[in-house]
Structure 1
Amino acid sequence: MIVLLPPSEGKATPRRGAPLDLRSLSFPDLTPARERVLDALVALCRDEPARAAEVLGLGPTQAEAVTRNATLREAPTTRADRLYTGVLYDALDLATLDVAARRRAARWLLVTSGLFGFVRPGDRVPAYRLSGDVTLPGLGGVARHWSQHLGAAVEEAAGRGLVVDLRSSSYAAFWRPDREWAPRVATVRVLHEHQGTRKVVSHFNKATKGRLVRSLLEEGATPSSPARLAEVLRDLGWTVEVPETDDRRPTQLDVVVSEV
């Protein structure tokens, strides 16, 4: 089983650490694709900082993000499980898991990255700013670029197991399961129920997904299908519904919560 996570916009900024070595990252076959994105991003931020801010969707108070991007090849790195912050990662709280659960995290978790494609928790990367919906000069759309390269990485990581896809919409385009993969992919929608009404709320969505992954890592179960995943989550105390799904598409699980 693998779990595909979105990155976080917020990231820790390492002060010390070895510089980036793309060859040391998981999925070394992605190195040429990573080089292309890195080259395009660094060149834009180094040579045209004002344009870079516009392309990256940054405001006037975020100039430091452009500066950091311009020096990514020399910047200090840290483990990905320390880099990504925000609601989902705070709820997941990988650092407080026991040893067995952290080992599962190292095997199961893939963070989707606009710069690196996929990274595992132990991969060392610098703080960067590059959203999945950006179009870089000389490269084109970041999502389109990665959609041409990540299929083999998913196949390598998942093997014959289940793919639990928790990515946000802007990162879902990086890899879309075809009809062959669809029966082995489960997506999760979090619904906040209040006074008989259900709706999607961003904060509940992110926090719940973090807690859900944490519970799977602690339990250590490896469900082989979306239906079995729903059963495991119910056994762990979650309220899970499975709407009817076209068998050509991934199975959507609705997780219903009343509080974070």
Structure 2
Amino acid sequence: MLVLLPPSEGKAASGGGAPLEPASLSLPGLAAAREAVLAELAELCAGDEDKAREVLGLSEGLRGEVAKNAALRTAGARPAGEIYTGVLYDALDLASLDAAAKERAAGSLLVFSGLWGAVRVTDRIPSYRCSIGVKLPGLGALGAHWRVPMADVLPEAAGDGLVLDLRSAAYAAAWKPKGEVAGRTASVRVLHAPTRKVVSHFNKATKGRIVRSLLTAGIAPKGPGELVVALRDLGYVVEEKAPARAGAVWTLDVLVEQVH
């Protein structure tokens, strides 16, 4: 099973560990594309701060994020699972998983990123600020920048099992499963049951809890149908929609009343 996650807007501090080693990151086929973004982002943020803030869409109160990006090559690095924070990652709570569940997380979770493309939760990265919606002056729109290398690398990373897609729309556009991979991909929405609307907090928290439930139970469905059964057994209310044509993904709606 491969689980595709969005990053978090906010991130933990880098800490005082050893700096980034780009060659150590997973999915080495993305290395050249990563270096291109890293080089331009660091140069941009080491120059005109106001221009960098404008490009990155940062408010006056987030000036410190520019300096953070300028120091990406020398800042301490930590496992990505410790860097990403926010509602989804709080609900997932990787740190509190037992050893077996942590091992499953290391092998199955893939976090998408405007800067790194995609990383495993065990990959050591510095804290940064660069969403996939950014358009760098040289490289252009990052969503488009990642599409070609992702198309080359992600099908192999997907293996031959279920692909559970929990990404937000912006990150989902960087790689869309096709062909045989699409047929075993399930894209999940979380809907507030009374209104049948997507509500941000419900959506993120429930996605984190779903992943945690699967990791804790040691469940690795081989396809969307098995995932539906597994989620129902775990107590989730799920409505599935099988693809109407070959090469399309399954859509699963998880209905929730409330999230505490």
Q: TM-score range by the shorter chain?
A: over 0.9
Question: Deviation digits for residues 176-225 of structure 1, max 9, x if unmatched?
Answer: 1123322011000101123xx32110000000000000001011122111
In the alignment, residue 196 of structure 2 is paired with which amino acid?
R
Write the deviation string for residues 33-53 of structure 1: whole angstroms up to 9, x where unpaired.
110000111111112221110
State the Cα distance separating 1:15 from its structure 2 match: 2.5
Question: Where in structure 2 are the equivalents of 1:177-256 lying within 5 Å?
Answer: 177-194=177-194, 197-247=195-245, 248-256=247-255
CA deviation after TM superposition for structure 1 residue 121, in Å:
1.0
Give the CA deviation at 1:244: 5.0
Amino acid in structure 2 at the alignment position of 1:173:
A
The aligned amino acid for 1:5 is: L
Secondary structure at the aligned position of 2:11 is classed as: coil
**How far, CA to CA, are the matches of 1:202 and 1:83 in structure 2?**
21
Single out whichever of 120-129 and 45-54 deviates more from structure 2. Answer: 45-54
Distance 1:128 1:35, change over 3 A: same
Which residue type is aligned with residue 188 of structure 1? V
Structure 1 vs Structure 2 CA RMSD: 1.1
Match of 1:215, SS state, is: helix
Q: Structure 1 CA distance, aligned partners of 2:180 and 2:47?
A: 44
- Alpha-carbon distance between aligned partners in 2 of 1:80 and 1:219, rounded to the nearest angstrom: 23
Query: For structure 1, which segment, 221-230 or 183-192, has the greater mean C-alpha deviation from structure 2 after superposition?
Result: 221-230
Q: Per-residue displacement from partner, 1:26-81 (whole Å, max 9, x unpaired)?
A: 11222111100001111111122211101111000100001111111111111111
Tell which deviates more after alignment, 25-34 or 92-101.
25-34
- Deviation for aligned residue 1:102: 0.4
Residue identity in the other structure for 1:221: I
Deviation at 1:14, TM superposition (A): 2.2
Q: Give the gaps of 5 or more residues in structure 2.
A: none
Secondary structure in structure 1 of the residue aligned to 2:145: helix
Secondary structure of 1:198 counterpart: coil
Task: State, as a whole percentage, how many aligned pairs show the same letter.
Answer: 56
- 1:210 is paired with a residue of what secondary structure? helix
Residue of structure 2 equivalent to 1:70 = 70
Q: Does residue 46 of structure 2 align to residue 51 of structure 1?
A: no
Distance 1:244 1:53 in 2: 43
AA partner of residue 178 (structure 1): K
CA distance in 2: counterparts of 1:156 and 1:38, whole angstroms: 24
Find runs of 4+ consecutive structure 1 residues off by over 6 angstroms: none
SS at match of 2:203: helix
Question: For 1:95 and 1:156, how far apart are their aligned partners in 2?
Answer: 28
Give the aligned partner of residue 167 of structure 1.
Answer: 167
Deviations 1:111-168 (A, max 9, x none): 0011111111111100100001111111111111111111333223221111100000
Aligned partner of residue 118 in structure 2, secondary structure: strand
How many residues align structurally?
258
- CA contact 2:177–2:185 (8 Å) conserved in 1: yes
SS in 2 for 1:187: strand
